[in-house]
Amino acid sequence: MENDGERVATQTMEKAGAENRRNVAISARSLVKTFGTGEFAVHALKDVDIDIRENEFFTLLGPSGCGKTTLLRMIAGFELPTSGIIQLDGQDITALPPHKRPVNTVFQSYALFPHMTVAENIGFGLKMLGRSGGDIDKRVKRMLALVQLEAMANRRTDQLSGGQQQRVALARALAPEPKVLLLDEPLAALDLKLRKNMQIELKSLQAETGITFVFVTHDQEEALTMSDRIAVMRAGEILQIGAPTDIYERPTHRFVADFIGDINILEGSVVSSEGRTAQVRLKDGAVIEARVPEGVDGSGDVALAIRPEAARLAGPDETAALSGTLENVVYFGAASYLHLRLGSGEEFVLRHSGALDAYDLSTGSVLGIALQPGRARVLE
């Protein structure tokens, strides 16, 4: 339903012509980046198309080496694509050098200038743009207030903590009011608690400034909590673009399902289908109803994805969709994760949040599994 709505919306926008241009901040078409030639060629990006809308928090998510940083560096202007085109607000910026693009970057290492004070760092971009000293001072003060570092204006950057350096890097990149802010795994160097705080701060900063954020990370949790939309990448290709709920609950690709959160992937074959719903026979003989997402072929041998929280232990009076022998129980307080071995030999993890008193939890006991209707999905 949602997918259909989106398609209609896209078609309307395309008809509107110039009208929709305003809503797309960055648009890349057929981007290819190849390092080296011949036998030793490394394909960092293979024909990537992407549209990043204005004012959105957009995340490029994927394991290291998937091409997310290469894509970011191309938008920043540090790399030229081998072929393809990048537009910013409808203007071709593919070959424009970095200093001519109204795009700023927060580097993974922060890249603060060690020979300048905090204030000088933040004011650098404005100085290069030729703004007057008074303008720069005013803007630097506002940025310092925004990241709560007023007291640190005249410190050297090496006297700051990791979290403070991170804020300076952010303020420095935001000071010239870029059209797009690029963030290259900016939270990777922070400890867990600080990272959680900065996630919230970044998100509210984005809402406050209304600037388009393009965020690169390999941390799926970070991506899910902060983003308006996520592009999941692997080996130089974009596998799926969508809102966090789309990506998490409606993955279309086996890799996406596996990469984001815990998931059970079961092999099976389609027995019958009706519309976007299919009956799938698993290897141990059980037949399960599953949704077939848009663009996925729902016939023959398929893989099924079921989140642990979409399953629970079947009650004594319920008919179980599946059953397995218990191997392990991991207690998490609010819920328990039960590791079961299905008749097919496949492992199945479920998250049970109710009481467990009624069940025999000794290793090797056979337990029934109940599934939430409509949560099992066929993967590409």
Partner 1 sequence: MADLATTHDAAPAARARKLKARDLKAMPGFKAIAWACIVALYLPLIVLIVFSFNDNRSVVKWTEFSLRWYQAALENEGIRNAAWVSVKVALVATILSTIAATMAALATTRAAAFKGQGLAYAIINQPLMIPEIVTAIATLSLFSLVKYVTGITGIGYLMAAHTAFCIPFAFMPIRARLEDMTLTLEQAGADLYATPLQAFRYITLPLLMPGIVAGAMLAFVVSLDDVIITLMVAGPGETTLPIYILGAIRRGITPEINAVSTILVGVSVLLVALLFLVQRRMEK
Partner 2 sequence: MSGAQLSAAHAEAGRRARNARLGLLGPAVLIILLISILPLGITVVYSFLTPGTYGGVTWEFSTAAYVQFLFEEDIFDGTLAFNPAYLQIFLRSIGLAFGAMIGTLILGFPTAYFIATKPRQQRTFWLFLITLPFWTNILIRTYAMLLIIRDEGFINLTLMNLRIINHPLSILYTDTAVFIGLIYTYLPFMVLPLYASLEKLDFRLVEAGYDLYASRWKVLSHVIAPLAKPGIIAGCVLVFIPGLGAYITPELLGGGKKLMIGNMIAIQFGSSRNWPFGSAAALILMALVVIVLLVYARAAGREAKAHG
Q: Which two tokens stand for residue 84?
A: 């393809």
Told to check if 234 binds partner 1 by CB under 8 A, we report no
Q: Is 148 left (phi over 0), alpha (psi -120 to 50) or beta?
A: left
Write out the two tokens for 287: 């037949």
Specify the 3-state DSSP secondary structure of 281. Answer: strand
Nearer to partner 2, 80 or 145 (CB): 80
Distance CA 96, CA 80 (A): 9
Q: Is 116 helix (H, G, I), strand (E, B) or coil?
A: coil
Stretch that binds partner 2, among 90-98, 134-142, 337-345, 350-358 (CB under 8 A): 90-98
Looking at beta carbons only, is 171 or 224 nearer to partner 1? 171
Answer with the entry of partner 1, partner 2, none that 115 interacts with (C-beta below 5 to 8 A by kind).
Answer: partner 1
By CB under 8 A, residue 15 contacts partner 1: no
Q: How many CB atoms lie within 10 A of CB 227?
A: 24
In the set 8, 16, 80, 129, which binds partner 2 (CB under 8 A)? 80
Taking contact as CB under 8 A, which single stretch among the options 82-90, 189-197, 278-286, 295-303 is the one that binds partner 2?
Answer: 82-90
Query: Alpha carbon of 48 to those of 11, 94, 236, 360: distances in Å?
Result: 21, 14, 8, 51
83 contacts partner 2 (rule: CB under 8 A): yes
Is residue 81 part of the contact set for partner 2 (CB under 8 A)? Answer: yes
**Contacting range for partner 1; rule: CB under 8 A; set: 37-45, 123-131, 302-310, 358-366:** 123-131
Q: Which of 78, 294, 318, 353 binds partner 1 (CB under 8 A)?
A: 78
Name which of partner 1, partner 2, none residue 271 binds, using a CB cut-off of 5 to 8 Å depending on partner kind: none
- 32 or 296, CB closer to partner 2? 32
94 lies in the binding site for partner 2 (CB under 8 A): yes
> What's the rounded Cα separation, in Å, for the pair 96 and 158?
33
Q: State yes or no: residue 109 binds partner 1 (CB under 8 A).
A: yes
> Considering the complex, what minimum distance in angstroms separates the CB of residue 70 from partner 1?
14
Rounded CA gap, 209 and 99, in Å?
A: 22
Smaller CB separation from partner 1, 96 or 296? 96
27 binds, among partner 2, partner 1, none (CB under 5 to 8 A by kind): none
CA distance 91 to 79: 18
Phi, psi of 38 (to 5 degrees): 60, -135
Neighbours of 158 (CB within 10 A): 8
The CA–CA distances, whole Å, from 380 to 67, 71, 278 equal: 21, 25, 14
Token digits for 44? 């960092």
Determine contact, residues 106/171, Cβ cutoff 8 Å.
no
Residues 334-373 that bind partner 2 (CB under 8 A): none
Find the binder of partner 1 among 115, 154, 301, 333 (CB under 8 A).
115
How many other β-carbons are positioned within 10 Å of the β-carbon of residue 295? Answer: 8
CB atoms within 10 A of CB 345: 8
76 in contact with partner 1 (CB under 8 A): yes
Beta bridge partners of 287: 281
Run of H or E residues at 261:
none
Select 31 or 350, whichever has its Cβ closest to partner 2. Answer: 31
The yes or no reply on residue 153 touching partner 1 (CB under 8 A) is no
# of chain residues touching partner 1 (CB under 8 A): 23
Residue 257, Cβ density class (10 Å: 0-12 exposed, 13-18 middle, ≥19 buried): buried
Q: Does 227 interact with partner 1 (rule: CB under 8 A)?
A: no
Q: Give the nearer residue to partner 2 in terms of CB position, either 67 or 81.
A: 81
Query: Which residues of this chain interact with partner 1, rule CB under 8 A?
Result: 76-78, 97-100, 103-105, 107, 109, 111, 113-115, 124-125, 128-129, 172-173, 176
Query: Which residues of this chain interact with partner 2, rule CB under 8 A?
Result: 80-81, 83-85, 92, 94-95
